[in-house]
Chain A
Amino acid sequence: MMNRRDFLAKGSTAAGAGLVLAAPSILKAADGNNDKINVALIGMGKQGRVLFEAMSNIPGLHFQAVCDIWDYNLKGGAGKVRALQGAMPNTYTDIDDLLEKEKGLDVAIVATPDFWHSPHTVKCLEAGLDVYCEKMMSNTIEGARAIVRATEKSGKLCQIGHQRRSNPRYRFTLDHLINNNKVCGTIVNINGQWNRALKSSQDISYNKRLTIDSERLTKYGFKDMHQFMNWRFYRDLSGGPISDLGAHQIDVFGWFLNCKPKSVYASGGNDYFKTREHFDNVMAIFEYDAPQGPVRAFYQVLTTTSAGGGFYESFMGTDGTVNISEMASSSAIYRESTAPEWEDLVNRGYMRKKPAPPKPAASDGVASYESAAPEEYTIPGVLNKPPHQPHLENFFASVRGNAKLNCDARHAFESEAPIFWVNPSALKKEPIVFTPEQLQV
Chain B
Amino acid sequence: MSEKNSTLGQVFATLLLRLWLGIRALQTGVEKFAGKVMSEQSVEVDGKAYDPDLTEVASTKAYSLDNYSGVPAALKETFKGEPLMMNWALNIFDKVLGPALIILGITILLGVANRVSLLILGLIYVGLTWGLILIKQDSGVAWLGIHVVMVAMALNWANHNRLCILKKW
Contacts and interface: CB of A to CB of B under 8 A. Distances in A.
Nearest to A171: B51
Contacts of B40: 384
User: Which of B40, B52, B54, B56 is packed against the most chain A CB atoms within 10 Å?
Assistant: B54
B53 A350 contact: no
Interface size class of B (residues with CB under 8 A): 10 to 19
Interface string A377-389: 0001111110000
Contact of A348 (B45, B52, B53, B56): B45
Interface in A166-180: 168-169, 171-172, 176
A349 B54 contact: no
A381 B55 contact: yes
A24 interface: yes
A168 B45 contact: no
B44 A168 contact: no
A384 B47 CA distance: 20
B50 A172 contact: yes
Contacts of A380: 43, 45, 54, 56
A349 B46 CA distance: 6
A25 interface: yes
User: Which of A24, A25, A380, A381 is packed against the most chain B CB atoms within 10 Å?
Assistant: A381
A390 B52 CA distance: 11
A24 B52 contact: yes
A168 B53 contact: yes
A383 B56 CA distance: 9
A6 B43 CA distance: 39
Contacts of A171: 51
Contacts of B56: 380-382
A385 to B, nearest CB: 6
B143 to A, nearest CB: 27
B45 A350 contact: yes
Contact of B55 (A25, A176, A384, A390): A384
Given A348-B45, A350-B45, A380-B43, A24 B50 contact: no
Contacts of B46: 348-349
B49 to A, nearest CB: 10
B43 A349 contact: yes
A350 B48 CA distance: 11
Interface string B39-70: 01011111100111111110000000000000
A173 to B, nearest CB: 11
Contact of A25 (B43, B44, B52, B54): B52
A322 to B, nearest CB: 16
Nearest to A384: B55
A381 B43 contact: yes
Interface of B: 40, 42-47, 50-57
Q: Which 3 A-B pairs have the closest CB atoms?
A: A381-B43, A168-B51, A168-B54
14 contacts: A24-B53, A25-B52, A168-B51, A172-B50, A172-B54, A349-B47, A350-B45, A380-B45, A380-B54, A381-B42, A381-B50, A382-B56, A384-B40, A384-B54
